[in-house]
């Protein structure tokens, strides 16, 4: 079936007539929306989509929003929707796609990411968590860190070392880990904000069936690249309106509080407003490229700009507000499901933005990606590229 905007609008209206948002329970509505192919229209039929162009998702979303339909609370399951789902779609078996994609999209099952380790953050390929095959299962032992939302997650995307005798990029395999396994121990990491949205996760004799492996044994680095490219787009390439995000908050304060204004702050605000608008328009171009294929290294550039802007804008906001900008209403240990920049104070935004240049790939690593894969500059020397992982200095 060929699906254009008119046909998709008609299908959405027919769906709303059969499932009135005002009287259909939220869980039932979301389940039916997935089955109707209106979840993510560019996915295959039977997996929440209609094999339609990605750009047509906006047609569905507009019709549903106008009708007051519930959404799937995407911020609550950002890792699942933005990272796990496209990876499962690209590398999963038919059985894995049927098992995981629907409850992931509806929010019935929350996902987290078990990638970084205490000794393998920026150099992720040096990871040491081991997975040893025993028949149709794998036994996993190791430690992961900076795991957002692990305390709420049902499943995790996990990469582990399955062959220590080959170079580090070649001996990694990608799995889906059941976070309810008794060998999974999640411990909170208290942040500078006072919250603990991140965790460290200890894996002790965790059993993973081979049926939960994504991609071939030893091909986990290639699978992980799909995840990481989608992560950077999800973090830095979200669609926002003009003067949306943090720049809108600061501009609003500037207009409402004339007593705070100075010439120097005005010049900095104008510059950051322009930078934010350039970033927004660049994001629109990136999403147009996504319609034609998979995310590439351009997402690294978007994420770089996102981190820099958030930190500079939140710093300007604190300076604009003076002593008032340092106030912070809640320093208790909280375990949030989402990061809420807009709903908190300037002091929170300033502190939390510091993490933007670490999460989703450090700015230093992303600069290398942009330099090598976008600009075509010579790569940095990598003397350990052909050395077996077991022989690396640690």
| Contacts within 8 Å (CB) and 24+ apart, 10-16 | 11/36, 11/37, 11/38, 11/50, 12/38, 12/59, 12/60, 12/63, 12/64, 13/63, 16/63, 16/64, 16/67, 16/69
| 38 touches 15 (CB < 8 A) | yes
298-321 and 263-292 helices cross at what angle (nearest 10)?
A: 160
Question: How many C-beta neighbours within 10 Å does residue 340 have?
Answer: 12
Q: Which residue has the tokens 């720049």?
A: 247
Q: How long a stretch of residues is the chain? A: 394
Q: Which residue has the tokens 């920026």?
A: 122
Catalytic positions, written as ranges: 231
| 159 touches 114 (CB < 8 A) | yes
CA 97 – CA 380 distance, rounded (Å): 38
CA 122 to chain centre: 17
| CB hemisphere CA count around 66 (13 angstroms) | 10
Beta bridge partners of 206: 140
| 120 touches 362 (CB < 8 A) | no
- Measured at the alpha carbon of residue 85, what is the angle toward residues 364 and 78, in degrees to the nearest 5? 60
| 165 touches 391 (CB < 8 A) | no
- Strand ranges for 135-256 from DSSP E: 137-144, 155-161, 172-178, 184-189, 198-209, 213-214
**b vs e for 306-329, b when ≥16 Cβ sit within 10 Å of the residue's Cβ?**
bbbbbbbbbbbbbbbbeeebeeee
**If you compute the radius of gyration of the chain from its CA atoms, what whole number of angstroms results?**
22
Residue 246 is encoded by which pair of tokens?
């943090």
């Amino acid at each position: 079936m060929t699906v254009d905007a008119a046909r998709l609008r008609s299908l959405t209206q027919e769906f709303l007539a059969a499932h009135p948002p005002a009287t259909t329970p939220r869980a039932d509505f979301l389940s039916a929306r997935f089955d109707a192919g209106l979840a993510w229209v560019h996915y295959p039929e039977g997996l929440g989509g209609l094999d339609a162009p990605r750009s047509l998702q906006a047609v569905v979303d507009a019709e549903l929003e106008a009708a007051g339909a519930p959404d799937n609370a995407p911020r609550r399951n950002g890792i699942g929707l933005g990272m796990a789902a496209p990876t499962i779609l690209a590398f999963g078996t038919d059985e894995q796609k049927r098992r995981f994609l629907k409850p992931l999209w509806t929010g019935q099952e929350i996902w987290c990411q078990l990638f970084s380790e205490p000794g393998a953050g920026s150099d992720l390929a040096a990871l040491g968590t081991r997975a040893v095959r025993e028949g149709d299962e794998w036994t996993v032992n190791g430690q992961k860190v900076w795991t957002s939302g692990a305390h709420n997650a049902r499943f995790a995307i996990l990469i582990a070392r399955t062959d220590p005798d080959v170079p580090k990029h070649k001996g990694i395999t990608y799995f889906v880990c059941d976070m309810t396994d008794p060998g999974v121990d999640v411990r909170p990491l208290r942040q500078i904000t006072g919250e603990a949205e991140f965790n460290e996760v200890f894996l002790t004799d965790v059993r993973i069936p081979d049926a939960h492996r994504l991609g071939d044994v030893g091909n986990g680095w290639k699978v992980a690249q799909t995840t990481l490219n989608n992560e950077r787009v999800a973090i830095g390439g979200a669609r926002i309106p003009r003067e949306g995000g943090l720049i809108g908050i600061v501009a609003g304060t500037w207009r409402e509080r004339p007593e705070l204004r100075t010439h120097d702050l005005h010049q900095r605000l104008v510059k950051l407003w322009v930078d934010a608008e350039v970033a927004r328009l660049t994001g629109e171009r990136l999403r147009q490229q996504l319609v034609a294929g998979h995310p590439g290294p351009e997402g690294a550039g978007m994420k770089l700009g996102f981190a820099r802007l958030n930190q500079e804008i939140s710093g300007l906001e604190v300076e604009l507000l003076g002593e008032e900008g340092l106030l912070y209403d809640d320093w208790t240990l909280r375990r949030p499901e989402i990061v809420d920049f807009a709903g908190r104070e300037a002091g929170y935004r300033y502190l939390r933005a510091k993490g933007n240049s670490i999460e989703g790939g450090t700015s230093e690593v992303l600069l290398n990606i942009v330099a090598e894969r976008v600009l075509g500059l010579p790569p940095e020397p990598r003397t350990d590229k052909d050395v077996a992982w077991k022989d690396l200095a640690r």
